[in-house]
Amino acid sequence: MDVLELMYRIGLIGLLGICLGAWGLPAGVELSFFKVTAEGNDLVVSWEALREEGVQRYELRRRTPFSKGQYVLVAQLQAQGAGRMYRYVDRQVYKQTADEVAYQLWAVYVDGSAQQLAEQAINYTPTAVRRTWGSIKAMFQR
């Protein structure tokens, strides 16, 4: 094998490696955490991605007893890159009295495909409802 043929083979192997690297690696997300917490009358959904490859945006969907068991899209957040913390404050839940609120996190990839990443539910009663119930009870106490 002469030098020219060797360089040709090395070049083909390098080109093949570049192509497989660009198209062969699957897009994906690896979450560090996903959590839902109550802060006053709001619910806060937060997460962090350790790995975020090929993600265009995240979609956050919510289910309450009023949504008839269906998840409804409540937010879309553009991908910011791995290691960034995402936070969404849901200020619409306080208007509803719900026993349980559940959230799903979806990744939408640049190729248009989508993948569910996480789901978490929280038992939640809005603070205003608790105060009202407490006020009603207080009226009947002596």
CATH of the domain at 82: 2.60.40.10
Residue 68 banded pLDDT, cuts 50, 70, 90: confident
Instruction: Work out the number of other CB atoms within 10 angstroms of the CB of residue 55.
Output: 22
**Closest alpha carbon to 52 in 18, 35, 16, 77:** 77
Structure tokens at 54: 């090929």
Q: What is the pLDDT of residue 25?
A: 44
- Asked whether residue 109 carries a pLDDT value surpassing 90, the answer given is yes
Q: What is the pLDDT of residue 48?
A: 97
- Asked whether residue 10 carries a pLDDT value surpassing 60, the answer given is no
Residue 19 lies in a domain: no
Q: Under 8 Å CB-to-CB from 77, ≥6 apart: which residues? A: 57, 58, 60, 86, 88
Q: Which whole-number Å values give the CA distances from 129 to 4, 51, 94, in the listed order?
A: 80, 40, 9
Give the number of domains in the chain: 1
What whole-number distance in Å separates Cα of residue 116 and Cα of residue 103? 11
pTM: 0.69
| Arithmetic mean of pLDDT, 107-122 | 96
| Arithmetic mean of pLDDT, 38-49 | 91
Instruction: Measure the CA angle with vertex 78, ends 73 and 82; round to 5°.
Output: 120
| Arithmetic mean of pLDDT, 38-67 | 92
Residue 113 lies in a domain: yes
Residue 10 lies in a domain: no
Structure tokens at 44: 């806060």
Residue 9 lies in a domain: no
What whole-number distance in Å separates Cα of residue 72 and Cα of residue 96? 15
Q: What is the pLDDT of residue 65?
A: 81
Residue 18 lies in a domain: no
Residue 84 lies in a domain: yes
Residue 86 banded pLDDT, cuts 50, 70, 90: very high
User: Which helix (H) or strand (E) covers residue 109, if one does?
Assistant: strand 100-109
Residue 16 lies in a domain: no
Lowest-pLDDT range of 51-55, 61-65, 105-109: 61-65
- Asked whether residue 31 carries a pLDDT value surpassing 90, the answer given is yes
Residue 67 lies in a domain: yes
Q: What is the pLDDT of residues 120-138, one digit of tens each?
A: 999 877 655 444 444 445 4
Selected residue with higher pLDDT from 113 and 132: 113
User: Domain limits at 48?
Assistant: 27-135
Q: Map residue 8 onto helix, strand or coil.
A: helix
What whole-number distance in Å separates Cα of residue 123 and Cα of residue 62? 13
